[in-house]
Amino acid sequence: MKKFVIALCVFALCCTLCVSAFAAPKQGGVTVGENHINVTVIEDFTGTSASDNFANGSAGEEYWKYEFNGKTMAITLTGKDGVNCLYHMAAGEGPALAADADTKAAWANAKYVGYQIKNGSGQEVVLATESTVVNTDGSLNEWGALFQHHNTEDEIAQWPIVLIAADGTRSNGTEKTAGNGRGTGVAIPAGFTGWVFFPTARMNGLGEGCYFKNTCFYMDYDAENTPFTFLVNRVALADTMELAQGAGDLDGFESTDTADFSVIAYAVAAITGCGALVVAKKRG
């Protein structure tokens, strides 16, 4: 009986941690000056670990590698053989995003896809979305997230790529060609920490009922300034870039963790208490 109760408690602990660590989507705010933009966080990488790491070559021979620690996605660019761009190796590459009913509902209203990032390079990099898009019939569009056909002056003016720095400064990004000319990206300044928001209206195939299958990018950079690491802390959706009153709550980079410590402490205490009750009952 003792073993059964303890096993039950361990199971409850696992369930508690899973709920606290992997629950999505979550509402939050990105600070802009004294105000904020409301977003829905659909990925904070708390469900990842080193077992999710991957690279495009053996150790020491890779051009880039992705590493996960339960807090961030770290993309390290090595500059091997003078390679100066990041691109995907296969459709759907990169960590999968949630596809539950709540997340799909958030996609249905999304006007922007945002990434909380940190550019570890000493120079600017050009970043472009490259996620595989899931169509309404379940088929995959490998190039659906690219900006290839909606880059006129009027379209850029109506739907700019937006940068929000960690100090709350907001600006429209400088757009440049990325991915060996495959699409349009945005210049991320050297050392930039903050958010970048890409408008869904300018993406190739992100129509009604569609959503991202994964998190993936194109990136152009200076190979002479390698190696460096580009970090992604959260992925979020925004219905609008309009401001709401008050500061936001998603400004601390790498502020997420695999689970809240108070939850862990509570669950451990619960297990300890259950074990003590079993022992006391046996002795009684």
Sign of CA dihedral 239, 241, 246, 248: positive
CA dist 232 → 48, 118, 161, 200, 209 (Å): 13, 7, 17, 19, 26
> Is residue 125 left, alpha or beta, with left meaning phi > 0 and alpha meaning psi from -120 to 50?
beta
**What pLDDT, on the 0 to 100 scale, is given for residue 251?**
73
Q: 153 is written with which tokens?
A: 């002056």
Fill in the DSSP letter of residue 2: H
Which of the two residues, 23 and 88, has the higher pLDDT score? 88
**What pLDDT, on the 0 to 100 scale, is given for residue 24?**
63
**What pLDDT, on the 0 to 100 scale, is given for residue 122?**
94
- The per-residue pLDDT for range 213-242, each reduced to its tens digit, is 999 999 999 999 999 999 999 999 999 999
Confidence of residue 159 (pLDDT cuts 50, 70, 90): very high
**What pLDDT, on the 0 to 100 scale, is given for residue 15?**
44
Average pLDDT over residues 273-280: 41
User: CA-to-CA distance for 249 and 166, rounded, in angstroms?
Assistant: 12
**What pLDDT, on the 0 to 100 scale, is given for residue 277?**
37
**What pLDDT, on the 0 to 100 scale, is given for residue 75?**
95
**What pLDDT, on the 0 to 100 scale, is given for residue 254?**
59
Q: What is the SS3 assignment for 239?
A: coil
Average pLDDT over residues 261-266: 34
Q: Assess contact for 114 and 235: CB atoms under 8 A.
A: yes
**What pLDDT, on the 0 to 100 scale, is given for residue 181?**
73
Helix axes 261-283, 2-22, angle to 10 degrees: 170
**What pLDDT, on the 0 to 100 scale, is given for residue 136?**
94
Q: 225 is written with which tokens?
A: 């300034």
Q: Is the pLDDT of residue 245 over 90?
A: yes
Give pTM, 2 decimals. 0.82
Q: Are strands 64-68 and 193-199 parallel, antiparallel or unpaired?
A: unpaired
Q: 84 is written with which tokens?
A: 């100066």
**What pLDDT, on the 0 to 100 scale, is given for residue 280?**
39
Burial 153-182, CB ≥16 within 10 A → b, else e:
eeebeebbbbbbeeebebeebebebbbeeb
User: CA-to-CA distance for 67 and 18, rounded, in angstroms?
Assistant: 21
**What pLDDT, on the 0 to 100 scale, is given for residue 275?**
45
Helices (H), the chain: 2-22, 101-109, 153-158, 261-283
Q: Assess contact for 63 and 82: CB atoms under 8 A.
A: no
**What pLDDT, on the 0 to 100 scale, is given for residue 1?**
52
Average pLDDT over residues 238-258: 80
**What pLDDT, on the 0 to 100 scale, is given for residue 14?**
44
Closest CA to 187 of 160, 209, 152: 160
Spatial neighbors of 141 by CB under 8 A, at least 6 apart, are 132, 133, 134, 135, 204, 205, 210
